């Protein structure tokens, strides 16, 4: 970005004149990080004690016209670039790790969001794990077991596409699934959800204390938008594979799911491991919110490239000198 461009921008802002559209590419990396922090904050629940789902919109707060498309695309590209730059330091420093959990109703856009938001990241520094119905082997263990095996190593970003939160979602909505979990009968009481919330809170606290920061993304799609996307999945032959009768059946439990989401967010959103309630009716907007939330979480780590000692630096220069001296 040229300095001239930035100065032009700020003088226009000061004079209040709007001679052309806001030029997002003129922002410095620090400005992008600052904006990401402020932007993502409005969707961040923090301490969830007073959380109510109805306070959060499924729609972006702004209307986008066709004209805005390139700007939205550019905003995401810039966010992805900033995220990749931070991830490079995370990897080099090899101390912290970040776990990003995605939860949502079907067709809310989890897969697309993961694909686009992580598109600029070095694949070596990122691990995506999807959690479907548990296998027999998984059901022979406690509910966190299968997820623990996929936690990100130091220096890495781990993405969970669904997670242990299904244990207080689909398992809560369908009592039969809980019954099939092979738990000792006397442990299945009316307190089980409260107990699971507590276990999850403690688990995330434990991870945080060990250098793995956990953030949780709820893609908040409306029932109306889900219907539209389901119909598209039937009408578009390339999308047929994405749709099943099971998805349509789960839609019938919408209210129960919303209740379960509200309860779990209220009980597991904390300052250190917050939930983000991302308006998901507009996919592009949702992706920008997600990129911002990840940038913010990485920025909080105050990452730095490892410092090289004076001795090591002198050694590197000696090596360089001998390389240059080669015939």
Footprint of ligand ATP (CB under 6 A): 106, 110-111, 131-134, 161-162, 166-167, 170-171, 177, 242
Cβ proximity to ligand ATP, 37 vs 203, nearer residue: 203
Task: Answer yes or no whether residue 250 interacts with Mg ion by CB under 5 A.
Answer: no
User: Which alpha helices (H) appear in the chain, and where do they start and end?
Assistant: 3-15, 29-41, 69-93, 110-117, 136-139, 145-148, 170-173, 175-179, 192-209, 223-235, 245-251, 254-268, 283-300, 310-325
Residue 290: exposed, middle, or buried by beta-carbon count in 10 A (0-12, 13-18, 19+)? buried
Tell me whether residue 177 or residue 301 sits nearer to ligand ATP (CB atom).
177
HSE-up of residue 250 (Cα within 13 Å, Cβ side): 18
Least Cβ distance, residue 27 to ligand ATP (angstroms): 33
> Considering the complex, what minimum distance in angstroms separates the CB of residue 276 from ligand ATP?
18
Min dist CB 177 to Mg ion, Å, is 15
CB of 207 to ligand ATP, least distance (A): 19
Name which position in 36, 99, 102, 106 contacts Mg ion (CB under 5 A). 106
Q: How far is the CB of 150 from Mg ion (least distance, A)?
A: 19
Interacting residues of 98 by C-beta distance below 8 A, sequence separation 6+: 90, 152, 156, 157, 158, 212, 213, 214, 215, 294, 297, 298, 301
- Give the rounded distance of the alpha carbon of 172 from its chain centre: 23
Which residue(s) pair with 130 in the sheet?
A: 161
- Return the number of the residue (19 or 133) whose C-beta is nearest ligand ATP: 133
Site for Mg ion in 146-185 (CB under 5 A): none
Residue 96 or 102 with smaller CB distance to ligand ATP: 102
**Residue number, 40 or 282, with CB nearest to ligand ATP:** 282
φ and ψ of 95, to 5 deg = -120, -55
Stretch that binds Mg ion, among 101-109, 150-158, 222-230, 279-287 (CB under 5 A): 101-109
**Min CB(177)–ligand ATP separation in Å:** 5
What angle do the packed helices 110-117 and 69-93 form, to 10 degrees?
70
Interface with Mg ion by CB under 5 A: which residues?
A: 106
């Amino acid at each position: 970005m040229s300095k001239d461009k930035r100065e032009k921008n700020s003088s226009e802002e000061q004079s209040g004149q709007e001679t052309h559209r806001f030029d997002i590419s003129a922002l410095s990396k620090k400005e992008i990080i600052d904006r990401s922090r402020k932007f993502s904050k409005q969707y961040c629940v923090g301490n969830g004690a007073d959380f109510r789902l109805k306070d959060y919109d499924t729609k972006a707060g702004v209307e986008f016209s066709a004209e805005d498309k390139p700007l939205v695309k550019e905003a995401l590209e810039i966010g992805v670039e900033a995220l990749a730059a931070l991830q490079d330091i995370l990897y080099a420093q090899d101390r912290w790790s970040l776990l990003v959990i995605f939860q949502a109703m079907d067709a809310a856009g989890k897969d697309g969001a993961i694909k686009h938001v992580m598109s600029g990241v070095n694949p070596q520094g990122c691990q995506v794990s999807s959690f479907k119905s548990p296998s027999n082997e998984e059901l022979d263990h406690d509910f966190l077991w299968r997820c623990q095996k996929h936690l990100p190593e130091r220096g890495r970003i781990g993405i969970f596409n669904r997670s242990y939160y299904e244990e207080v979602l689909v398992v809560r909505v369908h009592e039969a699934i809980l019954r099939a979990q092979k738990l000792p009968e006397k442990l299945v009481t009316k307190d089980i959800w409260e107990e699971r919330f507590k276990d999850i809170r403690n688990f995330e606290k434990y991870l945080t204390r060990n250098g793995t920061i956990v953030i949780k993304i709820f893609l908040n799609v409306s029932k109306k938008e889900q219907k539209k996307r389901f119909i598209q999945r039937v009408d578009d032959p390339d999308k047929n594979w994405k749709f099943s009768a099971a998805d349509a059946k789960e839609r019938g439990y919408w209210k129960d799911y919303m209740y379960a989401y509200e309860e779990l967010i209220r009980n597991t959103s904390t300052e250190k491991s917050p939930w983000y309630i991302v308006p998901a009716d507009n996919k592009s907007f949702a992706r920008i919110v997600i990129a911002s939330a990840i940038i913010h979480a990485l920025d909080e780590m105050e990452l730095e490239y490892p410092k090289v000692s004076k001795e090591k630096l002198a050694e590197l220069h000696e090596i360089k000198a001998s390389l240059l001296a080669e015939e």
